[in-house]
Amino acid sequence: MDCIFCKIVNGEIPSSKVYEDDKVYAFNDINPQSDRHILVIPKEHICCANRIDETNSSLVAHIFEVIPKIAAQEGLEFYRIINNCGEKAGQTVMHLHFHILSGENLGERLV
């Protein structure tokens, strides 16, 4: 499948790894929007939040169990989690991912 995040998971495209286990991969965003900008993805290809269902929601639960571990590991005391679902919401990579944004330059505005 021609998916850049699947290629990152299988090592075809290099990335700056932050965390990995059997189900999840996390890496630094190549174009950070704040002091720290980490992407957390399931290793399994799921296109977007709109495809979360009873067969794969445990993966999403797992991602949200992993996020505090990443925060602790990286020393992030505060952060924002963002998911863009659909091109018109700003989703440019069609592999489910959660942005973790942190740093003193983080504004209060959501949009």
Contacting ligand AMP within 46-75 (CB under 6 A) = none
Residue 15 touches which of Zn ion, ligand AMP, none (Cβ within 5-8 Å per kind): ligand AMP
Nearest distance in Å: CB 13, ligand AMP: 6
Spatial neighbors of 86 by CB under 8 A, at least 6 apart, are 48, 50
H/E element, 74: helix 57-74
102 binds, among Zn ion, ligand AMP, none (CB under 5 to 8 A by kind): none
Rounded Cα gap, residues 2 and 49, in angstroms: 19
Nearer to ligand AMP, 4 or 60 (CB): 4
